[in-house]
Structures are given as structure tokens and as C-alpha cells.
Amino acid sequence: MLEADPRFAPAALEYLTWFRYDNQQRQAFWRRVEEVGRDAQRSAAAQMLGYSRVLNSFGWDIKLEIYQHYFNWLRKHSHLESAWLVLAGGLSLGTPTVWPESNSATYGFVPDIIPTKAADYPPNEATHSASLALALAIYRARPNDYRSLWMMGFALERYGWMLRGNHLWRDVPDIGKRGFPIFVEWADRFNVAALHLHPEADTVWHSHMNTVKLGGGDWISVFDRAVEVNPQNARLYEDAMRFTLPQWGSDPDTRRRIAAIATAKNPDAQWAKTLLERYDEQARQFRP
């Protein structure tokens, strides 16, 4: 594609960032992204794409320097609707809790020492409050845009996770136990509304599956519909498999069913071939 049209580099860069890779390939992957990025035109679209990749990978807390750079860039390109969605999405992807600063690496992404107590993980409140406020503003400006509705639902779901934390339910604080179901319910309403406007939006189907599961509904039927829309969406299968693990109640029959669908629809994909083995192993290693 690049040989045919070097100006296609921004789109090729987007494709690369969705390519699946393991930890051994990580450095080679990012070197390739840099190579493609150098061929990209220095347009606002290419710059926004680059920022979105960095925010998705390293924008876990609003206090990180990358947000200051993006805010400065956004003031010059505030007319771009997608630029606001990129910011809201980056903030929403922030971790529900914050790693203690003394234990954080350069990006605050991989800790040197893993905290062991729930109290060591304060809620990432500033990040998720900002994401929710921004999502509300985007929705108010464009209430009939399916992307605005989806972003609103995603921000609500992630805010609920911030209240809940990443703990087993027995260790979730009271505010999380009260607030998490409410935010999930509202998030699902926005997901449903977005799908009414755009029934083929696979990312929204993915979010809908998650909120239905978290709300105690029939998530497997949503999974079946989402697979019809995009049978190659690996993240969809991975999330569905996680819902069959012991920490979610354990469902080995559904785990085998999902794996069979994955291999049937992606017969040449290595991730699909190893899906059942990987999650069976996770189920065996679970310690409550």
C-alpha cells in the first residue's frame, strides 16, 4: 500500500496498531510504526492519529505529560470533531486506579513493585471525571451521532469501573458496590441507542456485550450478534472468554462454544487456535 501511495501512511499506521503482537515483537512493532509514520504527511489528521495511539498506550492518567501536549495541539485544531472524541476516549481508557508514584516506571505504566493491598490503589478520579464531563459535552453538541452516544456509554462504564476498582467483588468498597451497577445500566442504554443509529458498528456491539454481562443480562446472545457484524474481531472473543473464567462464575461449556466459533470463523488465525488452551490454563491457575 505504501509503495502505491506513500500518502496512505496514516491509514497504514492505523492498521499496524491493530495488528496483534506478543511481548517479544513489541520493539520491532514500534520501530515499524515509526518507519510508517515518517512517510506520513504532517497533516492534522496524521498528528491526531499519532496522539490517539500514544494516549491509548500511555495515557492512563490525566496528569501525564502527553495530555499537556495534546491540550496544546487541540487548541489549534478545536474545529476537528474527532479530536475531541480522541481526547475523551484516551481519558476513558485510563486505569480505574492509580499506581503509587514511588512504584511507577517512566510512563507510570509498568510498576517496579506490585502493590498488594486494595488501599494501595487510589481511584483514578480526576481522569475519569474529566472523561465523563467531556463525553457529556460531546453528546450535548451531537446527540444524534452514534459516536457521541457510544462515547457517552463508554465513559459511564469506565467511571463505574473507577468506583469499583479492579478487586474481587468481596473487596470492592461500598461506593463501588452501589455505584457500579447504576453506571453500567446507564452505559448500556447509550450503547443500545448507538446501535439503533448504526447497527453495524462492531465496536459498539463489543461495548454492549460488556455492559450486558456486567448488568447480569444475556450477554452471549449479544456476542452472537456481534460476531455476525465482525467475525474477525479478536478482542471480542478475548473479552467473551474472560467472562467464562472462575472469577466471573466459571462456564467451561460456554468457553468451548466461543472457542469453536473463533476457530470456525478465523481458521488461519493463530490467536483463534490457541484461544481455548490459553483460557483453560487461566481457569486452572485461578486462586480465589
Domain boundaries, the chain: 1-41, 215-288
The model carries a pTM of 0.83
**Stretch 38-42: mean pLDDT:** 67
Give the pLDDT score at 117.
55
pLDDT at residue 209, rounded to an integer? 97
Q: What is the pLDDT of residue 107?
A: 39
Whether the per-residue pLDDT at 37 is higher than 80: the answer is: no
Q: pLDDT, tens digit, for every residue of 93-105? A: 999 998 765 444 4
pLDDT at 169: 87
Residue 248, pLDDT above cutoff 70 = yes
Residue 253, judged by CB atoms within 10 A of its CB (0-12, 13-18, 19+), counts as exposed
pLDDT number for residue 112: 42
| The predicted structure's pLDDT at residue 115 | 45
Please give the pLDDT value at position 44: 83
CB 87 within 8 A of CB 134: yes
The mean pLDDT value for 84-97 works out to: 94
Model pLDDT, residue 90: 95
pLDDT of residue 113: 43
Among 60-64, 70-74, 100-104, 161-165, name the one with the lowest average pLDDT: 100-104
pLDDT single digits (tens) 160-206: 999 999 888 888 999 999 999 999 999 999 999 999 999 999 999 99
The pLDDT of 226-240, averaged and rounded, is: 95
